[in-house]
Amino acid sequence: MSVLLAILSALAGNKTIMAIFAALVGGIGLYVAGGVSRARKDAARQAAEKLTAAEDRLEMDREASDAERAARGLPDEAARREAMRWARR
């Protein structure tokens, strides 16, 4: 046990070894921080895509509802033409 403590204290007293150790710890810390940052950016991008898709669906539903309201008062042939126009989109 005392031999291990002697080796560790000798390593801790060596400035070169401590500088290398600090650089390794710093590099690992930057790598981990970069991974966390990438994960957050990816989550934010996915949330933005989901929001855009939901807004698009809502707008399409509104347009379809407007077309349905307009078609209610139309005669059969005019309603059929309107439905064909929307079916082609």
Please write the tens of the pLDDT for every residue from 21-57. 888 888 898 888 888 888 999 999 999 999 999 999 8
φ, ψ at 70 (rounded to 5°)? -70, -35
Cβ-contact 67, 86 below 8 angstroms:
yes
pLDDT at 89: 58
Q: State percent of the chain over pLDDT 70.
A: 93
Average pLDDT over residues 47-69: 86
Average the pLDDT over 4-29 and give the result. Answer: 81
Name the pTM for this structure. Answer: 0.47
For the segment 6-12, the average pLDDT, to the nearest whole number, is: 76
For residues 81 and 89, give the distance between their C-alpha atoms in angstroms, rounded to a whole number: 13
Q: Where are the domains of the chain?
A: 2-87
**Cα of 66 vs its chain's centroid, Å:** 33
Q: Is there a contact between 10 and 4 (Cβ–Cβ < 8 Å)?
A: no
